[in-house]
Every structure is written in structure tokens, then in C-alpha cells.
Amino acid sequence: MGKTYNIAVIPGDGTGPEVTAEAIKVLKAAEDKFGFGVELTEYDFGGERYKRTGETLPDSAVEELRKFDSILLGAIGHPDVKPGILEKGILLKARFELDQYINLRPVKLYPGVACPLKDKGPAEIDYVVVRENTGDLYTGTGGFTMKGTSNEVAVQSSVYNRFQVDRCLKYAFEYAKKYGKKARGVGKENTLALCGKTNVLTYVYDLWERAFHEMGQKEYPDIKREYYHVDATCMWMVKNPEWFDVIVTGNMFGDIITDLGAITQGGMGIAAGGNINPQGVSMFEPIGGSAPKYTGKGVINPLAAICAMQMMLQTLGEEKAADKVEEAVKYVTSEKLESMQAGKMGYSTSEVGDLVANKVAE
Ligand code: IPM
Ligand code: MN
């Protein structure tokens, strides 16, 4: 018997519980097959609990979550709750309080998945975005003056310090060294691209750019460094996604470009991400929302949640199990599903979970 992992599960709102159940089904199949153990503890944080109790993610819960090996999250967002409350109160609070300073978002097109980009396939769409996850416009630095008057001023600042930038870059360089295209045997070089806006954000991205080249020159001379402005990044992600290997960027740009990336890999039915604290507890989530209109119908695609769980296994160090789950997902996308879209898969949510779990168990 290998290690036993204590996993906190937050199924959350909308279709979150449905997709999380399938991720757990596959996790159990991997547990049996690869001989590690999982102990699951479920938490009901989300819109329903907020409506009942007014509580989002209490400080005591943050302290509890700290003790787990990992957290698996379904979705946060409820149609009856004003936008921002649950997102800030649960998702962003967990990211900030648990210092999950990396948001890792693979942009990987699996075989059989329809891609909206002309003439692009799995060989071309195969990169990851390392999004900084604790700074930037997300810190809430700013405020209003003269609110409610015609002279009202609103300020919201992009905030970064050198420490935050350096630790994110360190993670990105290490990631490129370990999982870059050369390391994986699919390219000639391991490349790290900084996505910024040095022509306008001449303070924040100047800091990023200097830190990037300093660290690269000193510590990672074998990793090729590239720089793209964020607007150009969007263009190349559509026109020449094969140029990318590992992209590192700030929180706001990372949020935006990863939705673009997600749609090129088949959309919210398949895109997953990890909020990672390399020294602490990380949290994995499908990046699509709670999809209220599909809730309870058994039609939502659980592959994104399964892929989030797969990233969790990889981060926990269960690489073999992670590889097997990824292989099973690829089998299902290439041989089974008709579409990644809710209601169009040709299978129900739980049938898709069964297909992946059975393949893992084989
Ligand atoms: C994401 C989401 C969140 C973010 C929202 C829900 C606060 O869009 O995980 O990308 O902006 O980070
Ligand atoms: Mn987003």
C-alpha cells in the first residue's frame, strides 16, 4: 500500500456536484489500481450554504483546509447570489489565504476533440499557462472617491512585488525544465514565454521582464526565453498556437488568455486548472462555471473535473496514476464522445465517468 492522501472535496454549486462525483469515481478506480489511498472529506461551501447561513468560507474552514494534502473543487457561482460574493468569498479567499500562488492551466487539445482553429490539431495545441494567482488587479487595492456623484473616481491597481514575481517565475522555469517540449520529447527546446504589456504597463511588466531575464540568464540558461505582449499573445494563440510551450504571466492577463486557450482545446467541458501552492495545499478545479441551466440533468461534461483530478494526482506525485487517467481521457475523447458540449456527448455525465473509470481499471 502506498501513501494515503487526505483530500477535501468542495462540490460547490450548480453542476459542480455532478462533475465532482465523476472525478471521484475515477479517483477511486485509480486508487484501486495504483495502490495509494484516499480519504475524502466533503464540505458544502457554495451558494446554497451562503443563502442558508450567510457564510462563504469562514476563517475556521481555511484553517481546516490547510491540513489536507489537496482540495478538489467543483464549481462556485449561484444564480440567486450577486456576482462577486461567492467568487471573492470562497474561490479567491481560498487562493489567497492558502497562498496558492500559481494557477496552472494546461491548454492541450486531446485527440477527437473538435477545435475551432482551422488546421490545428493535438500536435499544435499543447502548451501550458502559468498564471500568477495572488497579485495584480486581484488584490483589491484601490477604491472610490466621491462615490455616487458625477465626479466619482474609481481606482483599481495592478500590484506586484519582486518576491511574488520571482516565486512565480521560479515555478515557471522549473516547470519548463521538467515538462517543456524538449523534456517531453516533442520539441527541440524548452521555452518559457513571458506574456506582458511592457509598452504600456511600464512599471509592473518592467519588473516582470527584468526579473524574468535575470533569473533566466543566471539559473536557466538552457531554457529559451521569449516575450510577447498580451494582445499579440491572443493573436498567436489563435494563429500559431504551436509556437507556445510554457507561458508565464500575471493574474489578470492569465485569467483572460486562459479562457481563450480553453476554447481552443474544446471548451469548458474539458479545460482544467490547478491553484498551486508548491509548499502547501493546492486546489484543483474545472475552469468552467456552475452552468446553472444544465444543473441536475446529467448532461454536463465531467471530463474537465476528471482532468482537474488528474492534475491533482500529478501534483501529489502519483505520476503513474496521473498518466493513466490522462490516457483514459484521451481514449474517451478519441473513441467515444461525439462532442465535448453538454447534452451532445452521446452519453450522460455518469456514463462518461464510467467510461474513464473502466479504462483506468483495465
Ligand atoms: C477563473 C475565474 C475566477 C477568476 C473568477 C470566478 C473569480 O474566472 O478561475 O478564471 O477570475 O480567477
Ligand atoms: Mn477566468
224-259 pLDDT per residue, tens: 999 999 999 999 999 999 999 999 999 999 999 999
Q: Which ligand is nearest to the CA of 133?
A: 1
Residues of the chain with pLDDT under 70: 1
Atom of ligand 1 nearest to the CA of 76: 6
What is the third-level CATH fold of 116-126+133-264? Isopropylmalate Dehydrogenase (3.40.718)
Tell me: the pLDDT tens digits for 83-128?
A: 999 999 999 999 999 999 999 999 999 999 999 999 999 999 999 9
Atom of ligand 1 nearest to the CA of 258: 10
Q: Comparing 1-110+268-362 with 116-126+133-264, is the CATH topology the same?
A: yes
Q: What is the pLDDT of residue 133?
A: 98
**Using CA atoms, how far apart are residues 171 and 129, in angstroms rounded to an integer?**
12
Q: Which residues surround ligand 2, an ion (CB under 5 A)?
A: 255
**Using CA atoms, how far apart are residues 198 and 230, in angstroms rounded to an integer?**
9
C-alpha cell at 172: 515557471
Burial of 109 (0-12, 13-18, 19+ CB in 10 A): buried
Q: So where are the chain's domains?
A: 1-110+268-362, 116-126+133-264
Distance between Cα 179 and ligand 1 center (Å): 25
Distance between Cα 66 and ligand 1 center (Å): 21
Q: What is the pLDDT of residue 2?
A: 84
**Using CA atoms, how far apart are residues 39 and 160, in angstroms rounded to an integer?**
37
Q: What is the crossing angle of helices 16-34 and 349-361, to 10°?
A: 10
Distance between Cα 254 and ligand 2 center (Å): 8
* Residues within 6 Å of ligand 1 by CB: 87, 91-92, 255, 287
For residue 342, what are the CA distances in angstroms to 11, 76, 180, 310, 352? 18, 18, 32, 21, 12
Question: What superfamily in CATH does domain 1-110+268-362 come from?
Answer: Isopropylmalate Dehydrogenase (3.40.718.10)
Q: What is the pLDDT of residue 300?
A: 97
Q: What is the pLDDT of residue 58?
A: 96
Residue nearest to atom 9 of ligand 1 (CA): 287
Total Cβ atoms within 10 A of residue 229: 18
C-alpha cell at 66: 490547510
Distance between Cα 51 and ligand 2 center (Å): 24
DSSP code for 136: B
Q: What is the pLDDT of residue 1?
A: 66
Distance between Cα 182 and ligand 2 center (Å): 29
Catalogue the long-range contacts made by 166-170 (C-beta closer than 8 Å, 24 or more residues apart). 166/211, 166/215, 167/101, 168/101, 168/102, 168/130, 168/132, 168/248, 169/208, 169/211, 169/212, 169/215, 169/248, 170/215
Atom of ligand 1 nearest to the CA of 285: 9
> Of 13, 138, 255, 275, which is best to mutate to test ligand 1, by the most ligand atoms within 8 angstroms of its C-beta?
255
**Using CA atoms, how far apart are residues 215 and 170, in angstroms rounded to an integer?**
8
Distance between Cα 258 and ligand 2 center (Å): 7
Atom of ligand 1 nearest to the CA of 77: 6
